[in-house]
Amino acid sequence: DLVHARDKALKLKEDNMRDIQLLNALGAAMPEAVDKGASDQIATEYKDALKLIYRMEYVGAEKTLRTNRENIAAAMGKASEVFRKKTTEMLNQSADRMADLDMQAENTGSAESIRMAGVVQRNQHRLSVGYQQLTLASTAEKHRRYAEALSHYRLARLHAIYLQIELAKDENEKNSL
């Protein structure tokens, strides 16, 4: 039993650390996605489990790490929800801007609007990929694979940011993004 607890504790230790690092990166990228109090509690729990591992109290360490794992999953679920909302909003804004530019090009026929219609055509694929990433993320989120969902949300968000830069009205708007 002790041997199994040791193996499980060491595996959980690695998995939890990887997910804690992901949460920290998400918190740096989008502070509203990760609750600071929950993040601190997760780090404290993990540290307590490490102490138990170093004291060779593997059964206690495994229990602590399992609790820690559940708290990490809850924090990732909340972060995933925030990322989903923000990313969907950004992609929808890009789609709306592309539709406006396309209509403007067809109605006015000026050189600038025709140039922007070309930009819209070149970026339709990027928008499609962004929405596909959003779909993959939603599927992963439904199956409680939050790390996978968050990586898809991050990719979708990257596409959305790039689109917003490409579709910006002027240099000031581009620089603010």
- How much is the pTM? 0.80
pLDDT 10s digits, 53-99: 999 999 999 999 999 999 999 999 999 999 999 999 999 999 998 88
Low-confidence ranges of the chain (pLDDT < 50): none
The values of phi and psi at residue 55, to 5°, are: -90, 0
- Phi-psi map region of 88: left, alpha, beta (phi>0 left; psi -120 to 50 alpha): alpha
d(CA 131, CA 33): 20
Identify the pLDDT of residue 105: 74
Cα radius of gyration (the chain)? 22
Q: Which long-range contacts (CB under 8 A, 24 or more apart) does 31-39 make?
A: 32/82, 33/78, 33/79, 33/82, 33/83, 34/75, 34/78, 34/79, 35/75, 35/78, 38/71, 38/74, 38/75, 38/78, 39/75
